[in-house]
Amino acid sequence: MSARRGHHGHQPAGFLDDASNVLFVGPPGVGKTMLAVALDRAAVDAGHRVCFTTAAELAAKCHKAALEGRWKTCMNFFVGPKLLIIDELGCLPLPEDGASALFQVINQRYLKSSTILTTNVGIADWAGAFGDATVAAAVLDRLLHRAAVVGIDDPSYRLRNHQNQADALRTGVNARVS
């Protein structure tokens, strides 16, 4: 998890000026995080403060802060940056207070600053990822109000080499059978 300020340079896509959001949705290994990091880099290069975290890290940090009486400080950490990137929503189940913390972060950022979220969970299945349909609907309502949703449905780049090997074996076996 990091928060940093970059050097002034090129302005990334106008979504930061509009406090719009970007959701990258797709299975593991299709480049969602890589795209989020590229937008992170562009925002930092343009001089914006950016925070990158995973959904699980956000939930854990908020939970710990609540136990230690540092809730407001924790919220300020996540609400302050011009761009917050929340990676891997749905990879690990969110505890109930984690879903609530995510909602509160998104709610406080709503219409003020941009959020990029990467997830392997289709929007229709967010109730399951959050464990609460009402919280999922409230988060989606705020995120999607001003958002670009980018669905990526390709094979995992991590498994492409394995797929090529499997295809070669299948071709070799089929050639011998014919």
**32, two tokens:** 């969602």
* Of 32, 21, 127, 131, residue with least CA distance to 88: 32
pLDDT tens, 33-78?
999 999 999 999 999 999 999 999 999 999 999 999 999 999 999 9
Helix (H) or strand (E) holding 148: strand 147-151
- The pLDDT, as a whole number, for residue 7 is 45
Torsion angles phi and psi, residue 149, rounded to 5: -105, 120
- The pLDDT, as a whole number, for residue 164 is 67
Length of the chain: 178
| Contact indicator for 148, 12 with CB cutoff of 8 Å | no
The alpha-helical segments, DSSP class H, found in 3-120 are 32-45, 55-67, 71-79, 96-109
Q: What residue type is assigned to position 165 of the chain?
A: Q
- The pLDDT, as a whole number, for residue 14 is 84
The angle that helices 96-109 and 55-67 make with each other, rounded to 10 degrees, is 100
Rounded average pLDDT per 10-residue block, the chain, 178 residues: 50 80 95 97 96 97 96 97 97 89 97 97 92 93 96 75 64 66
Helix or strand or coil: residue 82?
coil
- The pLDDT, as a whole number, for residue 163 is 63
- The pLDDT, as a whole number, for residue 116 is 98
- The pLDDT, as a whole number, for residue 83 is 98
- The pLDDT, as a whole number, for residue 9 is 45
- The pLDDT, as a whole number, for residue 168 is 65
Q: Enter the pTM of the model.
A: 0.82
